[in-house]
């Protein structure tokens, strides 16, 4: 047993407790929140939750791809614009959830949430497995798994500051980018959680292959590595690139430390396997990012600059403990344990120095948790030598971990998910049901206000003229035009003047629109009642769905 390996009577039982606690926590939040489990739940306010706990803007556009998958589409289009563009986005995770809804029944959101929870548990288990494979010690493995399940940053301190100091509100990375920390990602974002679980599996496969460099490895190991990396690259665009850069950095560090090209020569087959798995999907993503509409989305997604304090507070105590653990690994190890150390240090430095490199931080929470586990193992060992008590040192180290990297921000996220989840007006849900039955997955076009347009693609799989700040090209101009056509818009950003029915007629002709959603009692609805052949498909207390006649050929 290595000298740093510590005695632990029941490490497996403790891992099971961590997994059970994580599952219970996520289940309680979904059960208590009006958002529910994705099968549809009406809140006391009369609005409906469709499973998303936070960030409705992003959640509903992922939902729009889920609906396309449920409608039988394999390649997905952007449903928030009428601008012609290729329907060329492929994602196996979204495709699986949509296929389950189509074949088995139920809502795609519900299946996707269950997939995300399974991925969260797999992520925590895999982090523990990586730590044990790297011989980091039973204690480090448990600490790493615990941080993956419940660790969080310091945004809760900024929340306190906002409460007492008032606006402008300050948010750090662990609240702004909830996929940065595995625990908050597991609660909020199923797709990102699936991606992180695949990153962890890819890292585990690399570590296993590193362990087998000295002997001839069976071809099955390389095939497994290619399969996991290919699935990761097909599911997420940035994480495979981050993992590849981390591994290249690790090989480079080994070459510098050994003053030899031997580390590179020993690993050329692993690098080739990675290139074979990742390159086709990265090439496809690069091509897609240059296409109409998709290019606008890629540009806005990559323009994510923030000051250093934003990232430092976001990493919080996990980052502090991880840096300590990474330094310890550099001082004592010259083996694959340096891989997470290199990745963790590079991620923190990249965040602080290259402030626009947010997407390249995808997946960095995994090496941070691994290195933080090493840091806590060292602290516990130091405390044990002074307290002369294994249990006492464990409790003291646990208290320190709770203070520095505990789940306070995670609890803040859970509280807001319970009190303020993104809900949908019941009229909108019923309108989406009518549209889903009538359109049958054909991605027909609906004219509506931007608020309605944000939800309908994700609820019904239909196309809208404008509904998302990043996925609607020329969003501001299109919202302004909708306002001119009589649709209500944000009075702060896009004041709507008196309706010009000529603009509405032009929009209908340009978009070949078949459906219009109008507010009950609005001038727009009164005008639509005068249109020959227009019929009311659904009338609710707040919203009315009007079906327009087909133009004569």
Q: How does pLDDT run across 377-413, given as a tens digit for each residue? A: 999 888 888 877 777 777 888 888 888 888 999 999 9
Residues 213 and 339 reside in one and the same domain: yes
Q: How many domains does the chain have?
A: 2
CA distance 489 to 502: 18
Res 218 pLDDT > 80: no
Mean pLDDT, range 156-164, rounded to an integer: 83
Res 192 pLDDT > 80: yes
Q: Which residue range(s) make up the domain with 430?
A: 425-547
Residues of the chain with pLDDT > 70, as a percent, come to: 93
128 within 8 A of 145, measured Cβ to Cβ: yes
How far is the CA of 357 from the CAs of 238, 256, 361, in angstroms? 11, 25, 7
CA atoms within 13 A on the CB side of 443: 20
Residues 212 and 283 reside in one and the same domain: yes
Residue 522 or residue 26, greater confidence: 26
Q: Is residue 187 part of a domain?
A: yes
What pLDDT score was predicted for residue 475?
92
Residues 6+ apart with CB under 8 A from 464: 79, 80, 445, 446, 447, 448, 452, 453, 456, 457
CA distance 398 to 392: 10
Q: Is residue 26 part of a domain?
A: yes
- 427: part of which helix (H) or strand (E)? helix 426-439
Residue 403 or residue 493, greater confidence: 403
Indicate the average pLDDT of the chain: 89
Helices and strands: H and E segment counts in the chain: 24, 8
Res 104 pLDDT > 90: yes
The last residue of one of the domains, among 419, 438, 472, is: 419
Confidence bin at 6 (pLDDT 50/70/90): very low
Residues 275 and 360 reside in one and the same domain: yes
Residues 414 and 437 reside in one and the same domain: no
Mean pLDDT, range 97-107, rounded to an integer: 94
Mean pLDDT, range 514-535, rounded to an integer: 92
Confidence bin at 197 (pLDDT 50/70/90): very high
Residues 281 and 143 reside in one and the same domain: yes
Mean pLDDT, range 45-57, rounded to an integer: 87
| 8-12, 173-177, 431-435: range with highest mean pLDDT | 431-435
Q: Is residue 447 part of a domain?
A: yes
Residues 350 and 443 reside in one and the same domain: no
Q: Is residue 452 part of a domain?
A: yes
Q: Is residue 71 part of a domain?
A: no
Residues 335 and 369 reside in one and the same domain: yes
DSSP 319-348: HHHHHHHHHHHHHH--STTHHHHHHHHHHH
Residues 299 and 337 reside in one and the same domain: yes
Residues 6+ apart with CB under 8 A from 446: 435, 453, 456, 462, 463, 464, 513, 514, 515, 516, 517
Res 452 pLDDT > 80: yes
- 161: part of which helix (H) or strand (E)? helix 155-165
Residues of the chain with pLDDT > 90, as a percent, come to: 64
CA distance 285 to 293: 14
Q: Is residue 96 part of a domain?
A: no
Confidence bin at 25 (pLDDT 50/70/90): very high
Confidence bin at 172 (pLDDT 50/70/90): confident
According to DSSP H, which parts of 259-364 are helical? 262-266, 268-288, 294-302, 308-332, 338-353
What pLDDT score was predicted for residue 382?
86
Res 298 pLDDT > 90: no
Q: Is residue 133 part of a domain?
A: yes
Res 256 pLDDT > 70: yes
Q: Is the entire prediction scored with pTM above 0.75?
A: yes
Phi and psi torsions of 390, nearest 5°: -65, -45
Confidence bin at 184 (pLDDT 50/70/90): very high
Confidence bin at 525 (pLDDT 50/70/90): very high
Q: How many residues does the chain have?
A: 553
Structure tokens at 327: 């330094």
What pLDDT score was predicted for residue 108?
93
CA distance 425 to 542: 9
Residues 256 and 381 reside in one and the same domain: yes
397 within 8 A of 383, measured Cβ to Cβ: yes
Cα Rg, the chain, nearest whole Å: 26
39 within 8 A of 59, measured Cβ to Cβ: no
Residues 180 and 137 reside in one and the same domain: yes
515 within 8 A of 539, measured Cβ to Cβ: no
Residues 170 and 139 reside in one and the same domain: yes
Q: Is residue 2 part of a domain?
A: no
The last residue of one of the domains, among 366, 389, 419, is: 419
Give SS3 for 24: helix
Residue 551 or residue 210, greater confidence: 210
Confidence bin at 440 (pLDDT 50/70/90): confident
Q: Which of 378, 356, 35, 337 shows the shortest CA–CA distance to 210?
A: 337
CA distance 174 to 154: 8
Q: Which of 183, 114, 553 shows the shortest CA–CA distance to 369?
A: 183
Res 170 pLDDT > 90: no
Residue identified by tokens 């609660």 is 187
Residues 183 and 278 reside in one and the same domain: yes
Report angle CA 28, 33, 34 to the nearest 5 degrees: 145
The last residue of one of the domains, among 419, 454, 481, is: 419
């Amino acid at each position: 047993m290595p000298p740093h390996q510590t005695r632990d009577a029941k490490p497996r039982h403790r891992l099971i407790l961590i997994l059970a606690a994580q599952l219970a926590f996520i289940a309680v939040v979904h059960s208590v929140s009006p958002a529910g489990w994705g099968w549809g739940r009406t809140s006391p306010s009369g609005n409906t939750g469709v499973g998303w706990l936070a960030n409705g803007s992003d959640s509903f556009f992922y939902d729009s791809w889920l609906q396309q998958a449920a409608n039988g589409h394999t390649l997905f289009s952007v449903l928030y614009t009428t601008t012609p563009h290729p329907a060329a986005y492929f994602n196996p995770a979204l495709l699986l959830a949509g296929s389950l809804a189509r074949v088995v029944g139920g809502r795609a959101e519900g299946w996707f949430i269950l997939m995300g929870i399974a991925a969260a548990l797999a992520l925590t288990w895999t982090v523990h497995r990586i730590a044990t494979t790297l011989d980091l010690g039973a204690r480090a493995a448990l600490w790493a798994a615990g941080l993956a399940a419940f660790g969080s940053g310091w945004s809760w301190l900024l929340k306190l500051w906002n409460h007492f100091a008032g606006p402008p509100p300050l948010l750090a990375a662990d609240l702004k980018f909830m996929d940065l920390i595995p625990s908050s990602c597991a609660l909020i974002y199923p797709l990102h959680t699936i991606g992180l679980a695949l990153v962890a599996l890819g890292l585990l496969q690399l570590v296993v292959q590193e362990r087998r460099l000295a002997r001839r490895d069976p071809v099955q190991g390389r095939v497994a590595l290619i399969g996991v990396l290919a699935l990761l690259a097909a599911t997420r665009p940035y994480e495979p690139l981050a993992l590849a850069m981390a591994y290249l950095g690790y090989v480079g560090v080994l070459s510098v430390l050994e003053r030899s090209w031997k580390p590179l020569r020993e690993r050329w087959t692993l690098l080739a396997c990675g290139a074979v798995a990742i390159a086709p999907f990265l090439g496809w993503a690069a091509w897609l990012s240059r296409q109409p509409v998709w290019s606008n989305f890629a540009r806005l997604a990559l323009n994510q600059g923030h000051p250093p304090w934003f990232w430092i507070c976001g990493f919080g105590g996990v980052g502090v403990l991880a840096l300590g653990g990474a330094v310890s690994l550099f001082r004592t190890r010259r083996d694959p344990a340096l891989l997470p150390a290199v990745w963790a240090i590079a991620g923190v430095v990249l965040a602080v120095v290259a402030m626009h490199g947010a997407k390249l931080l995808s997946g960095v929470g995994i090496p941070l948790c691994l290195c933080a586990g090493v840091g806590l193992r060292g602290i516990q060992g130091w405390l044990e030598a002074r307290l002369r008590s294994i249990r006492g040192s464990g409790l003291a180290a646990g208290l320190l971990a709770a203070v520095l990297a505990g789940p306070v921000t995670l609890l803040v996220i859970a509280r807001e998910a319970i009190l303020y989840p993104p809900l949908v007006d019941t009229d909108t849900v019923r309108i989406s049901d009518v549209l889903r039955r009538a359109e049958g997955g054909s991605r027909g076009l609906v004219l509506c206000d931007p608020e309605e347009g944000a939800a309908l693609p994700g609820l019904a799989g239909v196309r809208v003229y404008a509904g998302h700040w990043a996925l609607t090209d020329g969003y501001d101009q299109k919202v302004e035009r909708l306002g001119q056509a009589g649709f209500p818009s944000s009075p702060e950003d896009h004041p709507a003047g008196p309706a010009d029915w000529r603009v509405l007629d032009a929009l209908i002709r340009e978009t070949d629109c078949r459906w219009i959603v109008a507010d009950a009692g609005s001038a727009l609805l009164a005008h639509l009642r005068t249109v020959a052949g227009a019929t009311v498909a659904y009338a609710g207390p707040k919203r009315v769905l009007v079906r327009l006649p087909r133009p004569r050929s």
